[in-house]
Structure 1
């Protein structure tokens, strides 16, 4: 049964909160990033992009140290202040279409090691080690791992009571997302939430597999270096945002491939016929509405592909994923793409307009063929995690996407 831990967050005073918190660094275009750094001296982007001050890109260990320096400067200037009391933090993010409300807390690295916090994606050891070294140098985590858990009425009722009062923060960012934060310092409420979460068998990582793995490596490293280790040190936990499964939003990634692997259009369709019932839908934009149904855009026309279930064999939870089916029936055997992470012939896209964007890129000759599918479900993700399996890369695009620098967790 996984544990959650209150902590003393380092965060901006109310007057600075809307200026400090940022989207993930990779989320910004070059122009947006330049504008933020030029005109907002309070944005957390200055911390994670420390080379801007020197008008140069800084990488590696040198960047890690400069990130720490910028962070310390933010604390010295009062842009960041440490809370006086340990707290759990109820955080609500409201977009134009969705509202996400959950709890920011410390999650246990030991629970991750014992598979009480389950994963569904592979991680790369090189990235784990690199981010572990980054965390060790800077001494903080600025973006929580997204964890999900089965809906629980008592947890919701407690959160509803907390959010019935005016939040400590409430502000709207330029992307029309409203953010609200309620610190919980009442020991009785904290105890209730800790107890209720401990009754849940498992948490599931929705987003942040590398951050979780790196936090575990950091905990093991600092544990080995500390002769007085007790298990209660801050490094034994990592910052997480826990939301119920019902609030998780899962979207699909579509796939586009540069060429047909030397096949003509007719040869390609003939090979597809082994696995799928194919229907040419002409110019009609076709979007799948059922599991094991796929859309395909090829040579100016849309096709629907229905899996022949008498030919394809289901053996485990992985074999039932549409992303795995597409890989095992088309991408690998027909188009010759075995390395979904590194093969430059394949590109991924997501978003409600991505089918149209995919069509445009194929019409312009950037790609030869594109495939769309239904989003995976929470149940499918959990089944993969429970069986100890991992999904193909880019199987899910999951929301919410958390802000960086809203709350800081120090080790």
Structure 2
């Protein structure tokens, strides 16, 4: 059973919510973060990326940077930018992109559910990235970026969310990237009790996006338990900030691949090798794959449609992913990309950036690009249920949840 708990959020005053809300910290490099904070001084990015308060001589991961993050968050609470909810509630968070609505439940999830496998992951995490966010959580005494979770839709929860959305919004604003963000509050005790009870009947919840933030939140909670050996399990540090979306609300975009060189092959040799795996068809237009088993390829100014040949795709949940088929049959054996997590010859391009970005990169000096058919939410669930992991960069979720709209204090 899953424990999905209501909580007393610190949240921005309605008149500044749109200015405070920020894209996730890892969307930006340091220079981009500095530009964004300069553009919008109220942006929560100044807390998530507190190195923006220092000159370039201060290391991004210096202790003073984490201290500054805690100071800046406390300052926003002290000056009234943030207000605290009167009592534990749930929130509804709707994002609208290109006319498409995606609505989730904002709540706190249990670190025990993460550790015992009720909350399932499909990616590995890197220790250095975990350490960074653990230090940030501990310096702030709070979780500031929600974890993007998915679950199989629950009728009772859908009914409550649909009804509450007919009422007045808590927030409603459009961010500079054109995404509309709407928030409602669920504060009726009967609704809160119904939602919590409904999730108690759920055995499987999935991390869609935010594996590093989730791992960091859990480890920070474990640190707090070690400091408080008499903990009861009811303390806030036993839970982490999350937004839970029903499976039928989610859209996964492709995660495309670009490779620097052909690993010593000339163009014809490479095409001959690829033709052993795929039926290759030249295309006069950019190829955005329309079905599973189809890949677009851009090389030397031309597009090709690749359709995987019969008998190539294995019958296992990981191996039959399109990203696995490409990795196992082209990237590794032909192009020499054995470990895509560390190989500097490959880069990954989120589908939100479009096929024109693939053309730009190849025309600018890269050797070949591959446009992918997106991994499905069912494939994600199946792999997580099997206790397996996807290849790196298998899914790209849009739109991105904003940080700073909901703060979960744990100290």
| TM range, smaller chain | over 0.9
Give the C-alpha shift of residue 81 in structure 1: 1.7
- Equivalent residue for 2:42? 42
- Equivalent residue for 2:383? 384
Q: How does 1:330-345 map to 2 (within 5 A)?
A: 330-345=330-345
Q: Cα deviations across residues 213-264 of structure 1 (Å, max 9, x unaligned)?
A: 1122122221122122101110110000011111111010111111110011
Q: Is 2:81 the partner of 1:79?
A: yes
Distance 1:38 1:399, change over 3 A: closer
Q: How does 1:7-18 map to 2 (within 5 A)?
A: 7-18=7-18
Distance 1:174 1:302, change over 3 A: closer
Counterparts of 1:354 and 1:165, CA distance in 2: 37
- Equivalent residue for 2:193? 191
Moved more, 347-356 or 245-254: 347-356
- Equivalent residue for 2:408? 409
Give the C-alpha shift of residue 30 in structure 1: 7.3
Distance 1:287 1:42, change over 3 A: closer
Distance 1:130 1:36, change over 3 A: closer
SS class of match (2:319) = helix
- Is there any run of 5+ residues in structure 2 with no aligned partner, and where? none
Give the C-alpha shift of residue 35 in structure 1: 5.1
Counterparts of 2:296 and 2:373, CA distance in 1: 9
Counterparts of 1:287 and 1:326, CA distance in 2: 15
Q: Cα deviations across residues 95-136 of structure 1 (Å, max 9, x unaligned)?
A: 233111111000011001111111111112332233223212
SS class of match (1:357) = helix
- Is there any run of 5+ residues in structure 1 with no aligned partner, and where? none
- Equivalent residue for 2:133? 131
TM-score by length of 1: 0.94
How big is the alpha-carbon RMSD for the aligned residues of Structure 1 and Structure 2?
1.9
Give the C-alpha shift of residue 34 in structure 1: 4.5
Q: Is the 8 A contact 1:290 1:374 kept in 2?
A: yes
SS class of match (1:89) = strand
Counterparts of 1:352 and 1:263, CA distance in 2: 31
SS class of match (1:210) = helix
Give the C-alpha shift of residue 36 in structure 1: 4.2
Counterparts of 1:353 and 1:82, CA distance in 2: 37
Distance 1:351 1:316, change over 3 A: closer
TM-score by length of 2: 0.94
SS class of match (1:182) = strand
Counterparts of 2:177 and 2:148, CA distance in 1: 21
- Equivalent residue for 1:280? 282
Counterparts of 1:95 and 1:43, CA distance in 2: 21
Q: Is the 8 A contact 2:30 2:52 kept in 1?
A: no
Counterparts of 2:37 and 2:244, CA distance in 1: 30
Counterparts of 1:53 and 1:216, CA distance in 2: 28
- Equivalent residue for 1:327? 327
Q: Is the 8 A contact 2:69 2:136 kept in 1?
A: no
SS class of match (1:112) = helix
Aligned length: 408
SS class of match (2:94) = strand
SS class of match (2:72) = helix
Moved more, 329-338 or 312-321: 312-321
- Equivalent residue for 2:301? 300
Give the C-alpha shift of residue 335 in structure 1: 0.4
Q: Is the 8 A contact 2:352 2:398 kept in 1?
A: no
Counterparts of 1:375 and 1:174, CA distance in 2: 26
Q: Cα deviations across residues 263-283 of structure 1 (Å, max 9, x unaligned)?
A: 1112112222322222233x3
- Equivalent residue for 1:223? 225
